[in-house]
Amino acid sequence: MALSPLGHVLLAFFGRGQRGLTTPVTDTAYARVNSALYGYFLLLLVWAPLPLASNRDWSTTLLACLLLGGLLWALVLLWSGQLRITPALRRAWPALAALAAAQLWVLLQLVFGISVAPDATRMALLLGCALVAAFILVLLLVDSRERVLFTTRVMVWCGVFQAFFAAAVMMSEIEQIALLDKTFVRDIATGTFINRNHLAGFLEMNLAIGVGMLVAQLHRHPAANWREFMRRTIDTILSRKFRLRLYLAIMVIGLVLTRSRMGNSAFFTSLLLCGMLGLVLQQRVTRSAVIFFVSLLVIDLYIVGNWFGVDEVVQRLQNTSLAGEKRDEVAIDSFVMWKDHFWAGTGADTFFQAYVDGGYMSPDSLYYRHAHNDYLEIGTGFGFIGFSLLGTVVLTSLWQAIQAQRRRHSRVLQGLGFASMMGVVSILIHSFADFNLHITANSLWFTVLLAFAWVANGVPNGVGKRPKST
């Protein structure tokens, strides 16, 4: 009996066999097409932050179409038997179902006329579907220890580039972003982002990935004697671990140069909280792990930070007051708006129209395009229904990240779980005072971190290097 393309995909997903498809495929052919799709996805990750964080209609549309094209490519390969359903994808069905249901809810907002700005909601639906595609592609393609290491390495390099570029532009006094003059935030590091807080959010996530990969390289047993200690020290200096530590220092410098109060606070708070939780989850607290986390806090915060102006960030925090802050007014107005549209919302990505045209803006308030609080903005736009679905994705992914650190024996997968947990927690903290999740590049990175949690639990034990044909 002939099966439809959908039937082949369902058979692959629910089948017990490794391939689950009727069309045989050689390992060489599988490796070749898998590598091509994997390279395509990595190129999209590298591209996303470059054109002003892909946060313009044209760049968002382009990135979304390319991601959806990647998903279509993957589905064709699944249908033809040249791609296999991974254990991580099978495992992640609760999060994937909730994420897809959230996009269905956005579609219903359009169909039933709930959205007060249909054009904005259509763009949100396009981007949402693209993020679903990215989530699936990570689960399909990052399917080995080798892929985990290379993917995280590429993402860290992106963070290093943004930090280095931002610092170079700032110190050169050129003050341009992608050949455009900086208008509002001169003498502040922004990279290829318009807003310093959004560069800070991007660096937070990449710092978390770097810290997670360093955690994966920590020695599990203390040195037996001073000779062993010296040997390990010299080996560390000459290894990739030292280069990775240098990359972290560069990104910390970039983060400090943004002068972002919440960005710096979110990073160091998430490092402290997740570091302590990670030590507990590891069950065996080694001296190297304690020294590592202490060094991150002391060296980066007090030494590197003081050289590049962390005192200015501290001063901004000290000078922050409710009287001087205006974002608390828009937060209060947003809360009232959500209460009036509690269940259904005003439509995804319709905050500005609902805020201004709906009469929720206070007489003495400024014109805000965003609520400067992702929780309130998602709540007002998606309503409680959509908010609950998206919250389910985040909470289930966080739980998987914790479980990976508890149960996996592979240090790389434990480190990936830590990276996912720390990066997600950092953005969740930052989201109380900003809208990183409404910046296209950052929302893509956040989605990848959520998928990493399922990958950390889904890659089978013993799956390491791929065949040489890759």
pLDDT by 10s per residue, the chain, length 470: 445 544 544 444 444 334 433 444 566 777 788 899 999 999 999 999 999 999 999 999 999 999 999 999 999 999 988 888 999 999 999 999 999 999 999 999 999 999 999 999 999 999 999 999 999 999 999 999 999 999 999 999 999 999 999 988 887 766 666 545 555 556 788 889 988 999 999 999 999 999 999 888 875 555 555 555 555 554 554 456 778 888 998 998 899 888 888 898 899 899 989 988 988 887 665 666 677 777 776 766 665 656 555 555 555 555 554 444 566 778 888 999 999 999 999 999 999 999 988 888 876 666 778 898 999 999 999 999 999 999 999 999 999 999 999 999 898 999 999 999 999 999 999 999 999 999 999 999 999 999 999 999 999 876 555 444 33
Return d(Cα 196, Cα 326) in angstroms, integer. Answer: 18
User: Where in the chain are the domains?
Assistant: 26-323+364-458
Alpha helices in 321-410 (DSSP H): 327-340, 351-357, 374-407
φ, ψ of residue 181 in degrees (nearest 5): -65, 135
- Please give the Cα distance from 430 to 197 (Å, whole number): 9
What tens digit of pLDDT does each residue of 236-275 get?
544 567 788 889 989 988 998 888 888 988 998 999 899 8
Contact present, 172 and 118 (Cβ < 8 Å): no
What is residue 432's DSSP assignment? T
Segment (H or E) for 470: none
Closest residue by Cα to residue 415 from 153, 34, 139, 224? 153
**3-state secondary structure at position 177:** strand
What distance in Å separates the CA atoms of residue 198 and residue 4, rounded to the nearest whole number? 44
Provide the sign of the torsion angle of the four alpha carbons 53, 433, 209, 233, taken in this order. Answer: positive
Work out whether the CA dihedral 336, 337, 343, 348 comes out positive or negative.
negative
Read off φ and ψ for residue 180, nearest 5 degrees: -110, 140
Task: Look at residues 188, 327, 208 and name the one whose alpha carbon lies nearest to residue 260.
Answer: 188
The neighbour count for residue 7, using CB atoms within 10 Å, is 12
What is the enclosing helix (H) or strand (E) of 180? strand 180-181
Identify the residue whose tokens are 């190129």. 43
Checking 220-229 for CB contacts under 8 A at 24+ apart, the result is: 220/284, 220/286, 220/411, 221/286, 222/286, 222/287, 222/288
Read off the tokens for 136: 């699936």
State both tokens at 194: 């318009």
> Is this model's pTM higher than 0.75 or not?
yes
